[in-house]
Amino acid sequence: MLTDLLPAGRVSGRFGEYVLAAGRCKLHAPWILFVGAGARADFHKSSCAELFDDVLRICRLAGFFQVGLCFDPTQDITPEFLEAQVQKQCRDPGGKEITCCIAYDSATLAEKN
């Protein structure tokens, strides 16, 4: 679905753009939320932390409490940085915790509550 929407200009992948799709049997997930991160050259630690926080906020509002996030490797965003984001942002003092699994370059880094 996403590969059809991108060339048609219906989505662009710009920072903070969301596309919610029904999951298919290959992914074993009822819903998939695609999140635009913008141009790779502009995606750094500060924008990653901002987007990570926003994605988890949206997931909580939608009632998603088991979340898998996938990242492509960049120079600025390391596995250690992503694991720190999981530790810092998957807990919500006023609400339900999210179980978050992070994949980085096809390797699972952390699965933390």
The two beta strands, 18-22 and 99-104, are unpaired
Distance in angstroms (rounded) separating the CA atoms of residues 18 and 55: 9
**CA torsion sign, 57 to 31 to 29 to 3?**
negative
The per-residue pLDDT for 95 is 64
Q: How many CA atoms lie within 13 A of 28 on its CB side?
A: 2
The per-residue pLDDT for 88 is 80
- CB atoms under 10 Å from CB of 37, counted, come to 19
The encoded tokens of residue 69 equal 């996030």
Closest CA to 113 of 103, 105, 104, 96: 96
Q: Alpha helix locations (H) across 1-113?
A: 2-5, 45-62, 79-89
pTM equals 0.73
The mean pLDDT of the chain is 80
Low-confidence spans in the chain with pLDDT less than 50: 112-113
